[in-house]
């Protein structure tokens, strides 16, 4: 009986993850070419959080001789090194720098603008910019968002949160499993 219950729980979990509504599946190329403040996601990931490469990648964002970003580094002392870039433009990119056998990856990215499938979106824009064929994710509290995922996967969406007036309130990428 325990095996049957365990199997039922696993099956329900799988069905729930795959039956998620309100997402748009992007091909690997479409996902890689999503742009955050004019720079492709693939190019950002390829820096592996290297400070000089990030500065070169976003050099056009500098104005008035200000620093392009500030950096916060922590976690090395416990074997979980992190590097977070806080850009003056409102972009934040957090890199999990991995460990001896773990890859470097972006674990969170927050932005004020994104370009997806040729549509440029900014915080405050009406979601109508995306057109009429939009699938919304409705959360338990009734709020809506749109998720863009790679190849119908269940991890790592690019999320656009909407306010009550269906205007964009937040744009971010995160890893969850």
Taking only the tens place, the pLDDT of each residue in 2-51 is 333 333 433 333 333 333 566 788 999 999 999 999 999 999 999 999 99
Task: Tell me whether residue 32 is in a domain.
Answer: yes
Report phi then psi at 118, rounded to 5.
80, 0
Whether residue 118 is contained in a domain is answered as yes
pLDDT band at 59, cuts 50/70/90?
Answer: confident
Tell me the pLDDT band of 60, cut-offs 50, 70 and 90.
Answer: low
pLDDT in tens, 149-172: 998 876 789 999 999 999 999 999
Q: How many domains does the chain have?
A: 1
- In this structure, what token pair is assigned to residue 37? 């403040």
Q: 109 near 118, Cβ under 8 Å?
A: no
Q: Which is it for the CA torsion 138, 129, 154, 37, positive or negative?
A: negative
Domain that holds residue 112: 21-174
C-alpha 139/C-alpha 177 separation (Å) is: 18
Query: Which pLDDT score is estimated for 7?
Result: 36
Task: Note whether residue 94 is domain-resident.
Answer: yes
Average predicted confidence (pLDDT) for the chain: 83
Residue-level pLDDT at 164: 93
Residue 5 lies in a domain: no
Please check whether residue 29 lies inside any domain of the structure.
yes
pLDDT tens track for 113-161: 999 999 999 999 999 888 878 888 888 888 999 999 998 876 789 999 9
Structural domain includes residue 9: no
């Amino acid at each position: 009986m325990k095996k049957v219950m365990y199997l039922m729980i696993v099956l329900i979990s799988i069905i729930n993850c795959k039956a998620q509504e309100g997402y748009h599946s992007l091909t690997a190329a479409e996902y890689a070419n999503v742009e955050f403040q004019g720079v492709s996601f693939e190019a950002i990931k390829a820096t592996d959080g290297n400070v000089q490469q990030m500065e070169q990648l976003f050099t056009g964002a500098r104005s008035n001789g200000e620093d392009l970003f500030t950096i916060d580094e922590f976690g090395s002392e416990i074997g979980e090194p992190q590097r977070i870039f806080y850009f003056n433009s409102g972009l934040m990119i957090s890199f999990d720098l991995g460990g001896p056998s773990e890859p470097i990856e972006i674990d969170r990215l927050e932005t004020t603008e994104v370009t997806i499938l040729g549509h440029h979106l900014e915080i405050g824009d009406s979601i109508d910019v995306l057109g009429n064929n939009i699938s919304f994710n409705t959360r338990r509290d009734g709020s809506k968002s749109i998720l863009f995922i790679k190849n119908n996967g269940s991890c790592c969406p690019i999320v656009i949160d909407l306010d009550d007036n269906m205007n964009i309130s937040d744009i971010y990428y995160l890893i969850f499993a």
